[in-house]
Amino acid sequence: MPSRMTDFGAFVELEPGVDALLHVSQISKEHVEKPSDVLSIGEEVTAQVVDFNLEEKKISLSIKALHAAEEAADEKAETSETTETTKE
């Protein structure tokens, strides 16, 4: 859940003391001017970890990447169903 907002993104608390950045460009396929336009502090969000840098203690998240992966899986399932139907 976002714990604080900036103009460039939202910091999401993964657990107490561990925050990750959800950059404004990774919130949606559509243009988002400010994270606070589409997210609220305390709102539960589902996102994919796209970068983890232990040395710098930075974690980057993306809702956009998560949705892209889900869409790719859906397309693969649809293609598989079509292939099975045409085999019969």
State how far the Cα of 13 lies from the Cα of 42, in Å rounded to an integer: 9
The whole-model pTM stands at 0.77
On the 0-12 / 13-18 / 19+ scale of CB atoms within 10 A, 10 is: buried
Contact (Cβ atoms closer than 8 angstroms) between residue 12 and residue 1: yes
CATH 3.40.50.1220 fits 2-87, yes or no: no
* pLDDT for residue 31: 95
* pLDDT for residue 71: 81
Per-residue pLDDT of the chain (88 residues; tens, 9 = 90+): 899 999 999 999 999 989 999 999 999 999 999 999 999 999 999 999 999 999 999 999 999 999 988 888 877 777 666 556 555 5
